[in-house]
Every structure is written in structure tokens, then in C-alpha cells.
A and B are shown apart, each in its own frame.
Chain A
Amino acid sequence: MSYSVTFKDHIAHPRKAGELPDANATAEETNPVCGDRLRLSLSIRDGRIEAARFLAYGCPATLACGSALAEMLEGMAVEGALHLTRKEIVSAVGGLPSRKQHAAALAIETLRAAIERGKEGGQ
């Protein structure tokens, strides 16, 4: 399988890796079938995502999607983030083979879970 240059760059130089000590919206979602995990921590102020960090375990597509997602999110309005699609994540990593599309789905699922939990927590 050949991955795009953008994809490989996310693997070699992951963006926004780690966790935010002052995060107010976090989620860790697992693909129950393959076991891939994505942890997202967001710092949300006044309806805007000020900072985002990710951690990931699983196949390279999950790592790349986590990296691309965290990079996209910083500075984005929460409402806009809720409208992000799987297709946009796939595009941000330079494309994914059909058998790896589940990685983008996990990224979107984790994002929505984090925002939802942030709202529950008062953000």
C-alpha cells in the first residue's frame, strides 16, 4: 500500500501530539473491532477551540488522522468543528485507501464525544 506524502509527513512529524493539562473537553474513543484508540483533549474558550492535542494507538491511518484533526481544530469554532466530516479528515491526510477509512470515522467520533463532554462540563 502506498501512502501520500502528506500522510507520511503526519507520521514522521505528528502535529499537536500530547495532552493539554488545562483541557476542558476530552474524550478517548476505541474502535471496538480493531482496538485502535484516539484520545483528544481540547481547550475551549467562548465557543472556540484554542488548543487541541491528540494521542493515538493503532494503525498508521489512526495516527495520521489524529494528527490532522488536532491541527485542523486549533482556532476553529466549536460549531464548525461539529460539522467536520470524515471526508475532510481523509482529505487532510492526503487520502486513505478504502480499508483504512475507519480511522477517519474514529477521529470524527472522538471529536464529537469530546465536544459533547465539554458541553456537559459547562463549556
Chain B
Amino acid sequence: MRWISAQLSAAFRVLTLVGRFSTGKARLKSVLLTPLTKAMRRVYLDHSATTPPDPRVIEAMLPYLTEKFGNASSVHLWGQEARAAVDRARRQIARLISARANEIVLTSGGTEANSLAIRGVCEAAASHGQHIITSTIEHPSVRGAIDSFEKQGWEVTRLPVYGDGIVRTEDVRAALREDTVLVSVMLANNEIGTIQPIAEIGALIRAARAADHRHLSFHSDAVQAAGRVAINVEALGVDLLSLSGHKIYAPKGAGALYVRRGVRLVPQQIGGHQERERRAGTESVANIVAFGAAAELAQKEKDARNEHTRGLRDRFESEVAARIDEITFNGNRELRLPHLSNISFRFIEGEGLLIHLDMQGVAVSTGSACSSGTLEPSPVIRALGRDEELARGAIRFSFGKDNTEEDVDYVVEALVHAVTSLRHLSPLSRQTAAVT
């Protein structure tokens, strides 16, 4: 077992070394997977979907995939090693959001954390009221969980975000009712990156609770914001807050829900004593260790990462604005995550642009989908009041710590080429000219 671990570690160190000599660790996998005959540059600009695991994070988790394989619930030495690792990771994750370690419930990821928060709180508070307040731009995992209560007869108020993608605290105040048991508003949006006034809403909820609204809870999905925005759960006034490891350079498979001490939650996964009876199931120790290591790195490196990605994003946006006309930037450009840019390109459709860019080695994403003849334009872009054409032509570019200025320059060229090609084909475009 030790031999396997040593080999894996050695192999990983070699790969890491190769990565350092290449143009960026993020592209290491791409470099290895790209046939030598096709030396196309590859640029990953989809860090809001997932991030490439940091080699330091992988190094931290490797022993827990090999010799330290114990079940954290076992009493023997192997179990104690695993338990200690899980506890350490729990403290690292708690520190990222200035919480106590015993307020962290470890989950399989952000979706499970959101589901546990919403279903857990609503089921616990159902006898006190059946009204939920949320926004129109929540992640599908929040939207889905809340929709399921609406189907059961609960009432839901979905707050507008106006043209800038920001919820207004006054709207939350106006929507509060005696039977409201949950307010769920994300900290930062996953498609346009807009940062919501969570501390203001949190203060409002606290005041409402103090005025005899005892069964009201406040949840915030911080999956996109964590590691990019300073989070202090006390200052924000949240009762529940969702996190995910793979958005901060850990592998997929671990997330967490902050549950303020005293908040009642009905467990959604039962049949074990793990996570203080709030989430049964053997802990994914290696993934949790990775999440903990990633959380610690995110906390230490947040400012440097933000400065780096903001620089790249701003360079990208000014180049795009200078070279491509008929574009619209989506979301408030001040109150947004530093690594993200969402742009609508008129006359063309996002999926076509995405594939064009993919063929040039550039990875981005679109919130719209055309499936079986049914169009599902991004609900987030639609919520901004954009027409259908702009909603269909929206693309998210999300930068990461390993991207470079050369990446930005390459993507701008690829984008200009793709937009020009697609507009040339578009019957909507004024640029269309006869070609013989």
C-alpha cells in the first residue's frame, strides 16, 4: 500500500513538474491528452463549472486513497487517522467562513448542501408556516428544491433582480410574511457573478426574528462566492450557507453546509450517526481532506487570486468591447465576482459560439439550451429583462488562477473569429452579405 502511494506521489510530482514548465498547471491535463500532431492551444475558461485540482490539494489527499484508508467511524488506528483528517478538514473549512467546526456538515457537494438546507429547514418548520422567499436567479439545485415544496402546496415569492442582477433588500422586507419560514438568496450568482446584499438581508432577518418571528431561517448558496469573497457567517447573518470543494481547486465529491448552532434541520439522509446525526453515511475522507486543503489555500491566496483573475477578466472585456460590436455585458459590473464575465452576442446563439470556441480549444459555457425543438434560454439572463435573442447569445467566461495573459489574447482572437463566422451565417445580422 505504501509502495502504491509512493508511486502515485512520485508520478504526480513528475506531472506537476511538467505542468510548471508548460504554460500553466491548468492545462497540464490538456497537454497530456492532446495528440502531438494537433498542437492546438487549449484554454480553460470555465472555472465556475469546475476548477482543475491544485497539485498541493491532490498531494494532501493521496495518503487517504492509499495507506490511510480507514473508515472515520472505526475505533482502531486506521479509523482514528481518518477521523483526525476529517476533523482537521472540518476546521479548515470552518475557518474559510469564520464558523465553528461543529457548525459544518460535510456533504457530497454543493447540490446536496442546498438540498439539505432547504428541505431540512422547511420540513422542520412546516407546522409554523409554508412560505419561502427566494430570488429568480438561484442555482438549479436551490430552484429545484424550492419548486418541490411549491408542488406540495407551499407558497413561494421569487424576488426580481432588475437589470443589474441584484436582489433588493427592500423587496425581501416587503415579501416577509408571518408564515415565512425560509429566505434563500445566493451570495454570488453562478452565471453572471453578481454579489447579493446578504449582510443587509441577514440583518433584516435577525431583526424579524427578534420581533417574534422565531421560525424564520436564512440560507445562502455560497458555492460560487467561497474563496473569492471574504465570508464571515456572523457578519452576513446567515443561518445556513452552502459550499463546494471543486469550485476552489479540490476534486469533485465534497461539499459542506454551515448550520448555525440552534437551527433545526430534518436530516435528509438517515441510518448512521455521522455529522452529528445530520447526514448519515461513511465520510469520503480523501475528498474531505482535499476540500479542507483547498479551503486553507483559498483563504491564504484569495487576494492574490482575485487580483490576478480580475486583471485577466478586465483585459479580456476591454479587448472584446473594442473588437466586437453589438454585445451586452450581463449583470452589475462593479458588484460581481472578479473572475467572471458574461456577455451576450447579438445575432448569434450561444451553443453555436460555444462549439466554435471548443473547436479552437477554448472552453466556456452557456446557460441556454436548445433541446428537442424546445428552447430553454438562461433563466438568469431572462431575469435581467434581456430579450430572447440576447438570452440565447449569452456566454460565460470564468477565469482561474492558472490562466495567463497569453490565454486571454488567444481567446480574444478565437472569439472574434467565431463571432464573425457565425454572424456571417445569421439571417438576423446586418453584416450578412451575399456570398457566391
Q: Which residues of A contact B (CB under 8 A)?
A: 3, 8, 11-12, 14, 17-21, 28, 31, 33-37, 39, 53-60, 63, 66, 98-102, 105
Contacts and interface: CB of A to CB of B under 8 A. Distances in A.
A100 B371 CA distance: 6
B433 A37 contact: no
Scoring A31, A34, A102, A105 by chain B CB atoms within 10 A of each residue's CB, the highest score goes to A34
A57 B426 contact: yes
A18 B435 contact: yes
Interface in B397-430: 421-422, 424-428
Interface residues of B, number: 28
B127 interface: no
Contact of A57 (B348, B355, B372): B348
A21 B432 CA distance: 13
B304 interface: no
Contacts of B432: 18-19, 55
Given A8-B359, A11-B359, A19-B432, A55 B427 contact: yes
A58 B372 contact: no
> Which 8 residue pairs are nearest across A and B when measured between Cβ atoms?
A18-B435, A102-B373, A34-B375, A59-B370, A55-B427, A99-B372, A99-B371, A39-B427
B435 A11 contact: no
A63 B425 contact: yes
B64 interface: no
B374 A3 contact: no
Nearest to B351: A59
Interface in B366-387: 370-375
B392 interface: yes
Contact of B425 (A14, A35, A102): A14
B349 interface: yes
A101 B374 CA distance: 12
Given A36-B370, A37-B428, A53 B352 contact: no
Given A17-B424, A63-B425, A31 B373 contact: yes
A94 B433 CA distance: 28
Interface in B316-353: 347-349, 351-352
B434 interface: yes
A19 to B, nearest CB: 5
A11 B374 contact: no
B356 interface: yes
Contact of A35 (B375, B434, B435): B375
A98 B372 CA distance: 7
Nearest to B347: A57
B425 A12 contact: no
Contact of B352 (A11, A21, A31, A39): A11
B67 interface: no
B152 interface: no
A23 B349 CA distance: 27
A55 B425 CA distance: 5
Scoring A21, A66, A98, A99 by chain B CB atoms within 10 A of each residue's CB, the highest score goes to A99
A68 to B, nearest CB: 13
Contacts of A17: 424-425, 435
Contact of A34 (B359, B373, B424): B373
Contact of B427 (A14, A28, A105): A28
A109 B180 CA distance: 51
A123 B38 CA distance: 48
B432 to A, nearest CB: 6
